[in-house]
Structure 1
Amino acid sequence: MLHEDKYAFDRQTDRQTDRQTDRQTEVDNCYFVKCCLMFLVVFYHSILFYSGIDWFVGKPLYVVDSLKWLSGWLNKFHIYAFTLVSGYLYFYLRYESGKYQHFKEFLINKLNRLIVPYVFVCICWVIPVSCFFFNYTAGDIFKKYVLATAPSQLWFLWMLFDVFVIVYCLSDVIYKSNVVSIIVSLAGIGIGAVGGKLFPNVFCIWIGCSYIAYFILGCKIRQYGSDRLNRFGVMTWFVAHTGLYIAVTHMKSFNGLLFKISSFGLTVILQVIGAVMAFLVLQKLAGYTDWKQNKLIKGFSQISMPVFLLHQQLIYFSISIFNGHVNPYVNAIINVGFAIVGSAIITKLLYKFRVLRLLMGEKQ
């Protein structure tokens, strides 16, 4: 009997150890997930020109429906999933690893990691290249980049900074109460939607409010684990997201206030499902790839943020060179390669100097 009790205890201990190992593996894999999401953003911008959206100077020879559909689908999960992963890691670092305990230190960290690279990349890269392609006035530059109302791809940095600061001030009560978490999430979505309609998006504050829900969702997934979400299977999440995307896209063709309200609500649900779907799919993919042993994948995971900071303007150059001279699908592939390789080369040159690494947001 004693032996049976001992064996039962050992089995329970082994299960707890496996569970802890899985949770730590999931944390480690988040860096692979973030890398994949960053490159999906690059791919999204590489095909966006051919979707018919007024995104760059000039027009494509013709709009490609498949690329239009694909860009819309990607846009409903990639940044939302990245925000979810940021919340997941924030919860792990603050409540499991003992970091982020003092607001001043936390604020300085986020200023160095997000706002310093915003200023540096804006001044040295985004503004000069944008002025080369667009007829921006001094007023346009002040509004877009100094006030950060629409600072090209760099809006993401201000959005994430806003979310970090807001959630930090509320995170203890969010940690303790799921009801408060839901209220804060819904309030953020509502405030973001209304504020964005009525007031300028200075420092991306309204966009930041609208992304709070996805950050909190990441916190809660870490707090309670992803086991329940995985029970449905990644294909179920994929099908649910794609099916709902088709439904929402179809609903937007209807007129009327009821359809607009329904479309807005379903779009939020679509983005939540998409964020969870991308997280689970990429976590599963990380387990299959053994990415830590792959030098190429591991190398790109270390420079995914600089690639994100630099890629869009490189795509501008690529489009201006090849648009009208090659097939749109070929141009999209060239855009991806040009952006990733070009960003990697620039990053490697910048990282030769310690001060430039710090200005790009790298840790000391």
Structure 2
Amino acid sequence: MEIPKKQGYLNNISLLRVFAILIVVLGHSMVVYQYNWGIYTPLIKSSFFNSLKNYIDIFQMPLFIFISGYMFYYCRRECGKYKNTSKFSFDKTKRLLVPYLCVSILYVLPIRMLTNYKAYSDNNALEVFYKYILTGLDSGHLWYLIAIFEIFIVFYLFEPIINKLGTPASFIIIACANIISYKFPHVFQISTSIHYFMFFYLGYIIRKNEKAFAYEFKGNRNIILISASFILQFLLLIISLKISNNNLICTLSKNLVYLFSNISSAIFYFLALSTISFKYKSLNSNKILKFLDKESYAIYLFHSPLIYIMLKYIANKNISPFIVVPSFFVIILFGSLGISYIIKKTQILKFMIGASTTKKHSTISS
């Protein structure tokens, strides 16, 4: 009988997680220059940051979900965790839904109301809570907490069926669900959960087959695979942008191509950063990386609303995007770290953001 091992610290995933959270912060730092954002319209537009944000969008959140699926397999199948359904559900509720409600009510809602956020402008705070927060229809970046909670619970319950069907059949079924996910209700992030379920499963099967995968793709083969996935992500993204949404067939084709662009980019960054982690061992003990990894969840929780405060005052100012974006990145990164520091000094507030009272890594994908 296989004896479950104690959960360890996966250096490649730590590096991947730090990269992912920094990319999310960077992406939100330039979102005002994305042509289809529509919340604030800057006086100066930037085709460069619009294009860069469109590229970042193909992997920033799929990468987070990928890490969660990867860690789920590692924790459940290799370390013997998550054996009790009730405890698993309770832990994920405390870890994800409690912070969702607390941070959205006490942090996101006040900031958006004070900065005249358009969707909230014709409602009082109680109406916003019922219409947008409780339903998950518009709680800003916190949509992720609802979606990943649902993915965790559904995957946990259906894992035996998914494994029984086998990887090819499950992959096809889950990919098809991703392609038609836009047809499902948006309330409670149901549509989003179905869309991102694919990337959770991708992380799961990568970890499940990692030994065989690493054996087949080592040395020059690994370089070829990294290069191919790097090129493929761009090629598929360009193709998806060329396909219109004129009819159902075009929409489904566009979604399929975009999905494989997402998958290619997630695989590329996983392979590239894992290779870097294994080759440059000194990174694994880097104090800054370890700190950012530990704080990744708090950074995610608190970074985005800070943008609205700054945009309220500078969106219509004649300031170069190449000054705005780096400034936003530094301010919201260190601002969220500062808020995290204050909150974690207070026991009650630690509970409100789902932080553990024990000393362990508190990360966004746990």
C-alpha change, 1:317 and 1:28, in structure 2 (3 Å) is same
- Counterparts of 1:129-144 in structure 2, within 5 Å, are 129-133=111-115, 134=117, 135-138=121-124, 139-144=127-132
Residue 35 of structure 2: aligned partner:
52
Residue 228 of structure 2: aligned partner:
236
Q: 2:333 aligns with which of 336, 340, 349?
A: 340
Residue 269 of structure 1: aligned partner:
260
CA RMSD of aligned residues (A): 2.3
Residue 182 of structure 2: aligned partner:
193
Residue 153 of structure 1: aligned partner:
141
Give structure 2 stretches of 5+ with no counterpart.
Answer: 358-366
C-alpha change, 1:247 and 1:188, in structure 2 (3 Å) is closer
Residue 197 of structure 2: aligned partner:
212
The yes-or-no answer on 1:87 pairing with 2:80 is no
Could you tell me how far 1:334 is from its partner in structure 2?
Answer: 0.7
Deviations along 1:102-122, one digit per CA (max 9) or x if unpaired, are 110100110111111111101
Contact residue 70 and residue 206 of structure 2 kept, 8 A:
yes
Residue 360 of structure 2: aligned partner:
none
Contact residue 69 and residue 201 of structure 2 kept, 8 A:
yes
Inter-partner Cα distance in structure 2 for 1:103 and 1:184: 25
Equivalent residue pairs, number: 336
Residue 316 of structure 1: aligned partner:
308
Q: 1:116 aligns with which of 93, 98, 101?
A: 98
Deviations along 1:239-279, one digit per CA (max 9) or x if unpaired, are 11112212222334x84554333212111111111221222
Letter in 1 for 2:103: V
Residue 260 of structure 1: aligned partner:
251
Inter-partner Cα distance in structure 1 for 2:70 and 2:97: 21
Residue 11 of structure 1: aligned partner:
none
Inter-partner Cα distance in structure 2 for 1:204 and 1:218: 21
Residue 364 of structure 2: aligned partner:
none
Q: 2:17 aligns with which of 15, 34, 38?
A: 34
Letter in 2 for 1:181: S
Residue 17 of structure 1: aligned partner:
none
Inter-partner Cα distance in structure 1 for 2:286 and 2:58: 29
Structure (1 or 2) with the larger CA radius of gyration = 1
Of stretches 175-184 and 97-106 in structure 1, the one that deviates more from structure 2 is 175-184
Please, what TM-score do these two structures have when normalized by structure 1?
Answer: 0.86
Deviations along 1:260-302, one digit per CA (max 9) or x if unpaired, are 3321211111111122122222223333373332222211111
Higher helix share: 1
C-alpha change, 1:279 and 1:117, in structure 2 (3 Å) is same
Please, what TM-score do these two structures have when normalized by structure 2?
Answer: 0.85
Letter in 2 for 1:328: P
Deviations along 1:304-349, one digit per CA (max 9) or x if unpaired, are 1111111111112223333424211110111101100100111111
- Counterparts of 1:350-361 in structure 2, within 5 Å, are 350-361=343-354
